[in-house]
Amino acid sequence: VRPGEKIATDGTVVEGSSAVDASMLTGESVPVEVTVGDTVTGATLNAGGRLVVEATRVGNDTQLARMAKLVEDAQNGKASAQRLADRISAVFVPIVIALALATLGYWLGNGAGLTAAFTAAVAVLIIACPCALGLATPTALMVGTGRGAQLGILIKGPEVLETTRRIDTIVLDKTGTVTTGRMTLQTTHTTDTTNETEVLRLAGALENASEHPIAQAVASAATDATGPLPTPEDFANVPGLGVQGTVEGHAVLVGRPRLVADAGIPLPAALSRALEEDEAHGRTAVVVAWDGEARGVFGVADAVKDSSAAAVAELRTLGLEPILLTGDNRAVAEAVAREVGIDTVHAEVLPEDKVNVVKRLQAEGRVVAMVGDGVNDAAALATASLGLAMGTGTDAAIEASDLTLVRGDLKVTADAIRLSRRTLATIRGNLFWAFGYNVAALPLAASGLLNPMIAGAAMAFSSVFVVTNSLRLRAFT
């Protein structure tokens, strides 16, 4: 498996070492270092060196296939809600027919004559004709989904809308949902005798020659800050630890603290404190040293999206309790949760355990929405009462969800729930007025006070009112 290629199936490394990006499956933002004897999972990305992998599981036995089976089982167990209009019509229509026959019988029995009896019975049928009732749901749904599409929200079906009204808990995946899913340089600490530009320039030059995602994050930040980077000489990758080489005559080391320690270079007290602070906040600490002296510490992490904190606050105003659910380690998860304002965190959770967390919340009587983007989220999305997938995520997650957020912005989650609730409220309002017109006019028609022409006009007005009410959804923002 060459650098940049996906690993074809589950297996064991028999030759080489590399960093494997398994975020799609596990949610862990930092690539996992693997070497001979380590197991790797199919569909994960080889981000570093060349690997030779011996296949241990293929076909339906792979972890990816087992996750697909989880999704299928969850979708099969999810009963589709019956449409509200269908439930009303099932009762309303037989009652109207019975009432028309009763009206006909009543007027004939009272000797009013066949013409008067039929006029009253036909007026009952016309005034009760459920045109508006039939238009109530599809018109609101069409306008609501159209407006949603304009805002980057794709609603799969009408049953989704009823679910949003009852949601009280929203479970958020971390990597790619609350965060960007890309490693970025967050902090830079240097010794008193070194400036930040120099540390970035020398470290960035070395990291630029590596394919590792953490190295690329440092190189990208260095290029942005200092411009074109010098070309390193004698570049060497130290598997699982970092890189070393010569840049502009300096012997440079960049990598984990152990790389510098193994080289016999002590870490000054200030940099040690910076390193501990970075690790406490869930950042990956990268130490920079040259010419036998430690010069700086970088804090690299999967950056939180700019809109995530505001999105979480908005979800709370909608009456939802946010919960962070991730396969990443607890320190990283809690740091992200603090930054965006989430109190409850479930970390180091395997894909099948994500399903169990959702089921456990449902067993407590909660109605759960799940927001995710990875293959590891697909089963939980299908299990949740309402699944919302990031459009920037995997096809598996999108397929398993009820709503798709095209832009991949968490803030759109709140918009999606508000739009769904507004659309459902419009549908209910339409049904109420359609039903109300009919019920109010039925006694008049049955008593012979309403001729069929006026009944027809009233029925048409009812339909126009319903369509006009639905069109108000176009103003949703």
How is 331-365 classified by DSSP, letter by letter? HHHHHHHHHHT--EEE-S--HHHHHHHHHHHHHTT
How far is it, in rounded angstroms, from Cα 165 to Cα 425? Answer: 9
Residue 56, SS3? strand
Residue 57, SS3? strand
Using CB atoms within 10 Å of the CB of residue 3, give its burial: 0 to 12 exposed, 13 to 18 middle, 19+ buried.
middle
Residue 254, SS3? strand
Sheet with 293-304, strands from edge to edge, namely 179-190, 293-304, 284-290, 250-255, 242-247, 233-238
Report the candidate in 351, 411, 361, 352 with the shortest Cα–Cα distance to residue 385.
Answer: 361
* Residues carrying an active site annotation: 173
Report the candidate in 44, 25, 19 with the shortest Cα–Cα distance to residue 207.
Answer: 19
Number of residues written out for the chain: 477
Which helix (H) or strand (E) segment holds residue 313: the answer is helix 308-317
How is 407-462 classified by DSSP, letter by letter? T--THHHHHHHHHHHHHHHHHHHHHHHHHHHHHHHHHHHHTT-S-HHHHHHHHHHH
How far is it, in rounded angstroms, from Cα 250 to Cα 260? Answer: 15
HSE at residue 196, side-chain half, CA atoms within 13 A, is 12
